Amino acid sequence: MKNNVAIKVKNVGMRFNLSQDRVDNLKEYMIRFLKRDLHFNEFWALREINFEVKKGERLGVLGLNGSGKSTLLKIVSGVLKPTTGYVQTKGKLAPLLELGAGFSQEYTGRENIYLYGAVLGYSKEFLDEKFDEIVDFSELGEFIDVPIKNYSSGMKSRLGFSIATVVEPEILILDEVLSVGDKKFRRKSEKKIMDMFDKGVTVLFVSHSLEQVQRICDRAIILDGGHLVAKGPVDKVARIYKNMTE
């Protein structure tokens, strides 16, 4: 991979096997699996995806629901392994996907900082050092010692965002995370992301807001039915996307 490239996606395809049959429990599934009595339909969420993101570039990913955007980000982040092709990344990567998905509902916010932080690869020593910063940014205050199951969805997202962005990554993967929390917190979270941009971080960004993509990104791609149908400067791609969605 070239030295000036942070992300390389080469011939990436992602296939899922969708069951044709209803299976009510795990025991029935295992019996039918062993008997080879399960039938699947193939579904390709992505096919032959190719692009590169240079260091310091901010690439927006546009597409309607079901186009493969989130699947692509999970593959780049290492959450999913592609069926075909490969992804190469160069630099410390921070994925902001499905914020708080790794939380334990029975644990307090304090305990989940260490649990979720460990999932993201942070050491206990690092989390000890950054603990007050995480709590202050999340604005949870005394709720930090309340079990997560008593949090609103906005509170969970704020805590997840605060944990995930406490590092200074070289590559940032964003999936609709700038819509978390109330209006005040959205402004605050966007400012934090923009501060990271000013430090030259490479960005792969999914948003349903075309305006947001144009404001944040310098290049963009469009996915349609799992295929990459356009790529280039953000304003040019935005015009193509507008024509597709009008």
Contact 200, 56 (CB under 8 A): yes
**Alpha-carbon span 125 to 103, nearest angstrom:** 20
**Sequence-distant (≥ 6) Cβ neighbours of residue 127 within 8 angstroms:** 113, 114, 117, 134
Q: β-strand 202-206 against 219-224: which pairing, if any?
A: unpaired
Residue ranges of the domains in the chain?
5-33+40-245
Q: What is the pLDDT of residues 185-234, one digit of tens each?
A: 878 887 888 888 888 899 999 887 888 899 889 999 999 999 999 999 99
Residue 136 backbone phi and psi in degrees, to 5 = -60, -45
Q: What is the pLDDT of residues 111-159, one digit of tens each?
A: 999 988 887 788 999 999 999 999 999 999 999 999 999 998 888 888 9
Claim: this prediction has a pTM higher than 0.85: no
Give the CATH superfamily of 5-33+40-245.
Answer: P-loop containing nucleotide triphosphate hydrolases (3.40.50.300)
